[in-house]
A and B are shown apart, each in its own frame.
Chain A
Amino acid sequence: MEETLSNCANCGQPAMDGDHATPLCSDCRESFTRLHIPVWIRIFAGGIAVILLFSLFTLPRSISLGIHLEKGERAIKAKKFNTAVKELSKVLEKVPSNIEARGNLLIAAFYNQDFILLDSMYKKLEDVNIEDKDLYGEIEKVMLKANEYHGTDDFDTLAKVYGDEVHIPDTALSHYLQTHSDDCFAAFSYASLLYDRKDYHRCDSLLELALQIDHEYIPALMLAVNVHRDEGDLDGAMTYTDRVLAINHESVWGLSAKARTLLRQKKFKPGLDVALKLYDMDRQSPYAISTLILAYHFNGHTGERDALIKKAQSVSLDPTAKDNLQYALDVINNKEKF
């Protein structure tokens, strides 16, 4: 079959050979396949490219903040409030006004029993409109619980009669509790007084009363751990420790109490494991440091123990940290019974 050569559809010159849908000479084909972009489109594309570069430059920061917020919110749901504080604090470092981070940090602060942080977040959220209904509900729930940590007006009136709550006579407290059977704070306050007097039996009964009013009343659970430990009921102490940890899986106090209870039960290796987990989670906590020192001590890891003591002593310690470290040192030196 004879091939027919057409003329170029653009310029009329003989079209080049080749299997193309449009007959074009080589010059025209080359010209049409070249990239012709008008100047204004080049400027537009250049603008888009600049914006794209800017976006790529700022993307990691934005994604990183989003991840911290997501991790913080997930940690709250998983009751890992220590992690939540760390993640949400990172968000607030960069975006101090973020309502979600503040709200969730308030919740985490409560379950960590960090009332300075709770108060600070509450003040920042006081006049803010929280659109997230779930978050608002959770904050409200936490603030209602936090109210139980303060005396009611009636209890404050009673305390004023005797100067302060420590000086309220037992009879007045008993009478008050009969007429205010839902006052968790009053029951706990009375239990604390009885604990100081080593009246563990009555203290325990009052703690049970407080826990009947609010089964997640953390100070009552913590005091119950101490009561049972002091009575030598280590299994009982562990039960209350687990209840603290059920509320906050990362409670520094709870993990510390668990590690120490395990050490007292002569379960040295599990005690060390919990102490190490706690220390990894919070290396600044005086509880975590002193607990790990004790765990190293009872596991015979004297090298690690002494290194940690040296490290703890090398930094300036606040009074709580000093007391904690001193307690650990006294146990090691047999000055304190463990």
Chain B
Amino acid sequence: MFFIPGFVITLVTFPGVIVHELAHQLFCHYFKVPVFKVVYFQLGNPAGYVLHEPVKNKAQGMLISVGPFIVNTVIGALISLPAALPVFTFHTAGPLDYLLIYLGVSIAMHAFPSRGDANVIWHSIKEESTPGWVRIIGYPVVGLIYLGSLGSFFWLDLLYGVGVAVGLPNLIIYLLR
């Protein structure tokens, strides 16, 4: 396992960070939650964040936190899908295909919610007013986010990005054949 400073990875995969924060913001806007500040990208920790009003509706709060997981995964997959086969199967890829793969992987690897997102969900579902079903979903989600965060040390986020960009096209072909 080799070590690359986090800011280098963040810098190289900045499109994913921007899409991640934009997804938080869009989910806030959808649920009419006031957003006080958005940092789409910075060379620091965190690489980006959205400061919004605490959400009373726990389900909405959870969706705002995990929104990037959905948005980044879908956009990353759609962007890289047409390029994955020319690059990895047909070996006929041109520069545009490599650009699509880079963008797809960058965006998909930032799908994982951050530990900050997990903390928001954690504090939210701990409250007494949280409905039981939100807790049932929330606790495993928080656990998975922490695991994902831990796994990012072992390149789990990159593996996820590559899996979405490369594995998904092959899965689709396998299912459609």
Q: Which residues of B contact A95 (CB under 8 A)?
A: 90, 92
B residues in contact with A45, CB < 8 Å: 22
A63 to B174, CA, bound (A): 10
**How many angstroms between the C-alpha atoms of A32 and B35 in the bound complex?**
5
Please name the residue on chain B nearest to A99 by beta carbon.
B91
**Is B86 in contact with A55, judged by CB distance below 8 angstroms?**
no
**Is A19 located at the chain interface by the 8 A CB criterion?**
yes
Q: Which residues of B contact A37 (CB under 8 A)?
A: 22, 25
Using A70-B173, A95-B90 as known contacts, say yes or no to A55 and B85 having CB atoms under 8 A apart.
no
Query: Is B32 part of the binding interface, using a Cβ–Cβ cutoff of 8 Å?
Result: yes
Inter-chain contacts of B18 with A (CB < 8 A): 41, 44
Q: Are B34 and A66 in contact (CB under 8 A)?
A: no
Q: Annotate A36-51 by CB proximity to B: 1 below 8 A, 0 otherwise.
A: 1110010011001001
Interface residues of B (CB under 8 A from A): 15, 18-19, 22, 25-26, 28-29, 32-36, 38, 40, 53-56, 75, 78-86, 89-92, 100, 103, 107, 169-170, 172-174, 176-177
CA–CA, A132 to B69, complex, Å?
A: 35
Interface size on A, residues (CB 8 A): 39
User: Which one of A20, A44, A58, A70 lies within 8 Å of B177 (CB-CB)?
Assistant: A70
Known A55-B100, A62-B86; contact A33-B79, beta-carbon cutoff 8 A: no
Please provide the chain A residues from 25 to 82 with a CB less than 8 Å away from any CB of chain B in the complex: 29, 32-38, 41, 44-45, 48, 51-52, 55-56, 58-59, 61-63, 65-67, 69-71, 74
Expressed in whole angstroms, the minimum distance between the Cβ of B74 and any Cβ of chain A is 10
Q: Which residue of A lies closest to B177 (CB)?
A: A70
Q: Is the CB of A33 within 8 A of B34?
A: yes
| Inter-chain contact B177/A65, CB cutoff 8 Å | no
Chain A residue with the shortest CB-CB distance to B81: A59
Q: Is the CB of B176 within 8 A of A67?
A: yes
Contact B35 A100 (CB under 8 A): no
Whether a CB of chain B sits under 8 angstroms from the CB of A97 is: yes
Residue of A nearest to B55 (CB): A21
- Alpha-carbon separation in the docked complex, A32 to B174 (Å): 46
**A-B pairs with beta carbons under 8 Å apart, 18 shown:** A20-B53, A21-B53, A21-B54, A21-B56, A22-B34, A37-B25, A44-B18, A48-B19, A48-B79, A48-B103, A52-B79, A56-B78, A61-B82, A62-B82, A62-B169, A63-B81, A66-B89, A66-B169
Contact among B28, B103, B169 for A51, CB-based, below 8 A: B103
B177 touching A63 by the CB < 8 A rule? no
Residue of A whose beta carbon sits closest to that of B176: A67
A65 and B85 in contact (CB under 8 A), knowing A41-B40, A52-B75, A98-B92? yes
Given that A55-B79, A58-B82 are contacting pairs, would A41 and B22 also be in contact in the complex, using a CB cutoff of 8 Å?
yes
Q: A52-B79, A56-B78, A70-B174 are in contact. Are A98 and B91 (CB under 8 A)?
A: yes
With a cutoff of 8 Å between Cβ atoms, the chain A residues found around residue B26 in the complex are 35
Q: A255 on the interface (CB 8 Å rule)?
A: no
A24: interface (CB < 8 Å) = yes
**A-B pairs with lowest CB-CB distance, top 9:** A32-B34, A66-B173, A62-B82, A58-B82, A21-B54, A59-B82, A70-B177, A22-B53, A35-B29
CB distance from B83 to the nearest CB of A (A): 8
Residues in A whose Cβ lies below 8 Å from that of B33: 33
Q: A35-B25, A48-B15 are in contact. List 17 more A-B contacts (CB 8 A).
A: A20-B53, A21-B56, A32-B34, A32-B35, A44-B15, A44-B18, A45-B22, A48-B75, A51-B100, A55-B83, A56-B78, A63-B81, A63-B85, A65-B85, A67-B173, A69-B89, A70-B174
